[in-house]
Amino acid sequence: MLLKKEREELYNCYKKMLEVGLTNGTSGNISILNREKKLVAMSPTGIEFDKLKLEDISIVDLDGKLIEGLKPSSELEMHNIIYREREDINAIVHGHTVYATTVACLRQDLPAIDYMIAVAGGNNVRCAEYATFGTPELAKNALKAMEGRKAALLANHGVIAGAGDIHNAFNIAEQIEYISELYVKAKSIGEPVILSDKEMVKMVKLFKNYGQIKK
């Protein structure tokens, strides 16, 4: 079985995503890149978690060719284009979360209402321009929105987060969903105060290594 370790990590992460509400049903997708072998382990399309087996997990190359397992998620190219262009990202979590998607439906960036947004690498999380799911256009839009960042909102769609490993990619996605919830609730009672760019420069430096899960 190719990429057994990556398959196990993906399976455990997918389970945790369902438990904490970062995805539901068969929506969302996750992947892990083995850069040495240039192969990607990815959640297969249209299969519920309780029916998912390790051997079902898709193994593809960076051109999208299926090597083992079931047919990969329709968002395969959105993952692969990031792996091809971003050497700092080896794992990606994409979820259709309630609050991040709510902000994405406004087609606006998520601002720094909480200093924890620094885990995504900047003073905001940009919203990628809308494109149909599974298309090369969406993949390119996501890559552009993630420039200098480790996360992006996808207009009328969801959130995507990447990191050096799946544990930190999950952590970033979870934090962005939390901050999105804060933003939506704060906007419902007033206008939230946004942290200054100067403060966020400081936060990004402090969070460069803070809270990073070490293997």
And the tokens for 45? 């399309």
Q: Tell whether the model's pLDDT for residue 19 goes beyond 60.
A: yes
- Band of the pLDDT at 18, cuts 50, 70, 90? confident
Looking at the DSSP bridge assignments, the partners of residue 68 are 59
| Catalytic center residues | 75
pLDDT at 211: 52
- The 8 Å CB, 24+ separation contacts for 196-201 are 197/123, 199/112, 199/115, 200/112, 200/115, 200/117, 200/118, 200/122, 200/123, 201/123
Percent of the chain, pLDDT > 90?
85
Q: Tell whether the model's pLDDT for residue 213 goes beyond 80.
A: no
Q: What predicted TM-score, i.e. pTM, was given to this entire model?
A: 0.94
Q: Where are the beta strands (DSSP E) in the chain?
A: 29-34, 39-42, 58-61, 66-68, 91-95, 110-111, 124-125, 127-128, 151-154, 158-163
pLDDT in tens, 41-59: 999 998 887 889 999 999 9
pLDDT at 210: 60
pLDDT at 199: 97
Pairing mode of beta strands 127-128, 151-154? parallel
pLDDT at 22: 86
| The domain made up of 4-206 is a member of CATH 3.40.225.10 | yes
pLDDT in tens, 102-161: 999 999 999 999 999 999 999 999 999 999 999 999 999 999 999 999 999 999 999 999
pLDDT at 48: 83
Domain extents in the chain: 4-206
Three-state DSSP class for 41? strand
Closest CA to 32 of 3, 55, 53: 3
pLDDT at 151: 98
Tell me the C-alpha distance between 100 and 110, whole Å: 8
| Chain mean pLDDT for the chain | 94
